[in-house]
Homo-oligomer: A and B are copies of this chain.
Amino acid sequence: MKKSEFSFIGDIATMFGSLPHRGFEPIGDDCTVLDMGRDALVMTTDMLVEDVHFLRGASSAKEIAHKSLMVNLSDVAAMGAKPIATLLSLSLPESAQGEWSEEFMQGYYEASARHGVALVGGDTTASRDRITINVVAIGRAPKENIKRRSAARIGDTIAVTGKLGASSKGLVDIMFGDMNTEAARIHRLAQARLAEGEWLGQRSEVHAMMDISDGIASDIRHIMELSDVGADIELRAIPTDYDIRYATTGGEDFELLLTVDSTSFDALAKELHAATGTTLTAIGTVTPSRELRWLEDGTPRELELKGFTHF
């Protein structure tokens, strides 16, 4: 659920909070969590709407399929779980019912096969003029592996996987007609950190975790709010090849944002890299202040940064 829907979402969470939970944890994380005994099941859903989240002219059907799967699998990985299955709902105008839908399904199949994810249900229906895609992703993990936004501890190291900013830089490139830059390619076929999420789930020194969907400037606030802590983030430490604005407020990088016991960080980063080839970079510290402070070489700096707005 995205940032600028918050008042509506907040109302919904309050309204439905009074209903029986039926074994599910309350809304607030990347996924809902259902206790299954030894394992937990996690579930998430995202809806993609033509001319809001994608343009048929700018992305191929396969790329749209890839993206619709990835946004959901990324949420599963962010819980420390392994994605196992999806449900797919599609509403298609006549103009998309032949070739487009076949290419979409081919892309969805290829991405599902690559990550070993089953398709276990869905719905297809007509629409009047635009495509809507809804994906539900289901993941599974031993209960003790599940990582929550509420688990950050004061003194933790704040860390991110990979590099930030490429996806939003790529989106800007595409908007200016530069379809074939490295960033544009990353934007179109971004890979969620599935192996990394599952691996980090197994490590007890990882406390809070979430995926970066709206940029760290926005997303770190979810961890702060739910863990009742603050954060100092060192701008020069943020791993990026692009402008700091992309790296802090750009959406859809599908990297992971986590807090780690500070004494274990170096060893963890080394082991993650050995296991998956992916870097883990320390970018800050969890503080007791409840505030987000941006630092430049350790000195606080005023910075008016807002996350990506989808709604």
In the bound assembly, the distance between CA atoms of A15 and B118 in angstroms comes to 11
Name the contact of A122 in the complex, choosing from B1, B41, B49, B85 (C-beta under 8 A): B1
**List of B residues within 8 angstroms of A125 by Cβ:** 2, 5, 47-49, 52-53, 310-311
For the complex, what is the distance from the CA of A51 to the CA of B23, rounded to whole Å? 36
- Check: A127 CB closer than 8 A to any chain B CB: yes
Binds B, one of A130-138, A142-150, A236-244: A130-138
CB pair B91–A8 under 8 Å, yes or no, is: no
> How many monomers of this chain does the complex have?
2
Are A126 and B45 in contact (CB-based, < 8 A)? Answer: no
Using Cβ atoms and an 8 Å threshold, which residues of chain B touch A134? 45, 47, 89, 123, 132, 134
Cα A193 to Cα B116 with chains together (Å): 36
Contacts of A85 in B (CB 8 A): 22, 24, 32
A16–B16 CA distance with the chains assembled, in angstroms: 35
A19 CB within 8 Å of chain B: yes
User: Which residues of B sit under 8 angstroms from A16, Cβ to Cβ?
Assistant: 109, 112, 118-119
A87 within 8 A of B: yes
Q: Is the CB of A121 within 8 A of B52?
A: no
Least distance between A2 CB and chain B CB atoms (Å)? 7
Q: Is the CB of A52 within 8 A of B130?
A: no
With A37-B37, A89-B134 known as contacts, the answer to whether A121 contacts B44 (CB < 8 A) is: yes
Interface check A275, CB cutoff 8 A: no
**Contact between A311 and B124, CB atoms less than 8 A apart:** yes
A43: min CB distance to chain B, Å: 6
The verdict on A175 contacting chain B, using a C-beta distance below 8 Å, is no
The residue on B at minimum CB distance from A9 is B124
A216-252 Cβ-contact flags toward B at 8 Å (1 or 0): 0000000000000000000000000000000000000
Find out whether the CB atom of B132 lies under 8 angstroms from the CB atom of A21.
Answer: no
Chain B's closest residue to A24 (CB) is: B120
Judging by beta carbons under 8 Å apart, are A126 and B311 in contact?
yes
Interface residue ranges of A69-125 to B (CB < 8 Å): 84-85, 87, 89-91, 101, 105, 109, 112-113, 116-125
Q: Is the CB of A136 within 8 A of B45?
A: yes
Query: Is B128 in contact with A84, judged by CB distance below 8 angstroms?
Result: no
Distance from A234 Cβ to chain B, minimum over Cβ atoms (Å): 33
Does A46 count as interface, using CB distance less than 8 angstroms? yes
Judged by a CB distance under 8 angstroms, whether A11 is at the interface is: yes
A109 engages B43 (CB within 8 Å): no
How many angstroms between the C-alpha atoms of A53 and B9 in the bound complex? 25
In the complex, the 8 A-B pairs of residues with the closest C-beta atoms, listed nearest first: A22-B84, A134-B134, A32-B120, A47-B89, A16-B119, A132-B132, A24-B120, A32-B121
- 5 further A-B pairs in the complex, CB-CB below 8 A; given A24-B84, A34-B138, A36-B36: A2-B125, A19-B118, A20-B116, A43-B120, A47-B91
